Amino acid sequence: MLSVWLRVIRVRFLLASVIAVSVALALNWWQNSSIDPFDAALTFAGVMALHASVDLLNDFWDFKRGIDTKTTRTKMSGGTGVLPEGLLKPSSVYRAGVAFLMIGSLIGGYFVITDGITIAVILGFAILSIYFYSTKIVDSGLGEFFVAVKGCMIVIGTFFIQTGEISAESILAGIMVGSLSSLVLFIASFPDHDADKSKGRKTLVIAVGKERATKLFWVFPMIAYSATVVGVSTGLFPAFSLIVFLSLPLMIKSGRGLHKNYDCVKDLIPYMSSTLMFGRLTGVLFIVGFLAGLDF
């Protein structure tokens, strides 16, 4: 049963939130050579709980709307398959999603008390966007935008908890992380195009069409790389942050693979996986850049 719950929570995708928090902590370490371990651990716990919540609620609503029964499921798209296979009751998944949302909110509430109104605003945004993500937000075509904002907010919020300030560095780092998270969601929506469209969902791929959407792939990594270059050129990031460009070949491979195979799920799967790997690798390299802190 534990393996089923880990499956529906999509544990391997929680790494995106781990990277987002770690980026903010690494940025703070590079600037101030200090980390509050208790606040860091609590931040990890809260962010992970909120991330688990959105995945659980997404599985519930996609099943209730009949989307997951019409998709071709892959490791990165089409839902977890737990509900269509009858491994868990929909009500149980919904309650678990709400429970994780409450846990994350309570942890966030602690930081509202200790750190003030800024965290309250970030937490309020998180709660509303998580609960309405799989219905109102995605249906309005804002899914990729909100995922990008979510990643950005995690970095900014974590950095604020550690330092008590929102800086240009944390905003730039947040934009970098958010664009990578949004890229993974973007490419994962290609196999679900027909099922999503038939149920009234509007993703970016649906809005512009599959073929034209392949050209938008390059926008996300361009934003991530550009944020890094701006940070380094203005002295906001250490020069060693440019190590993120080591992931460039993987990005090119993924983008070209999407362009050639966007309409064939089976052939697209390897490039969906390489896009996920690109996002994670770039995020880890970004962290390493701060921890190394070497200026050329």
Residue the block writes with tokens 């690798």:
281
Average pLDDT for runs of 10 along the chain of length 296: 84 89 96 94 96 91 77 70 84 94 96 95 90 79 87 96 96 96 91 78 86 94 97 95 96 96 90 94 96 65
CB 274 within 8 A of CB 14: no
CB 249 within 8 A of CB 291: no
Q: What is the pLDDT of residue 68?
A: 65
Helix (H/G/I), strand (E/B), else coil: 4: helix
Output the DSSP codes for 134-159.
IIIIHHTT-HHHHHHHHHHHHHHHHH
| Phi-psi sector, 165: left (phi>0), alpha (psi -120 to 50), beta | beta
The one-character DSSP state at 27 is H
The number of folded domains in the chain is 1
Structural domain that includes position 178: 2-292
Q: What is the pLDDT of residue 149?
A: 92
CB 158 within 8 A of CB 20: yes
Percent of residues in the chain assigned helix, strand, coil, to nearest 5: 80, 0, 20
User: Where residue 76 sits, what CATH number does that domain have?
Assistant: 1.10.600
pTM for this predicted structure: 0.92
Q: What is the pLDDT of residue 75?
A: 73
Q: What is the pLDDT of residue 116?
A: 92
Q: What is the pLDDT of residue 295?
A: 46
Q: Which residues contact 71 (CB under 8 A, 6 or more apart)?
A: 77, 78, 79, 191, 192, 195
Q: What is the pLDDT of residue 255?
A: 96
User: What is the biggest distance separating any 2 CA atoms in the chain, rounded to whole angstroms?
Assistant: 56
Q: What is the pLDDT of residue 121?
A: 94
d(CA 70, CA 234) in angstroms, rounded, equals 49
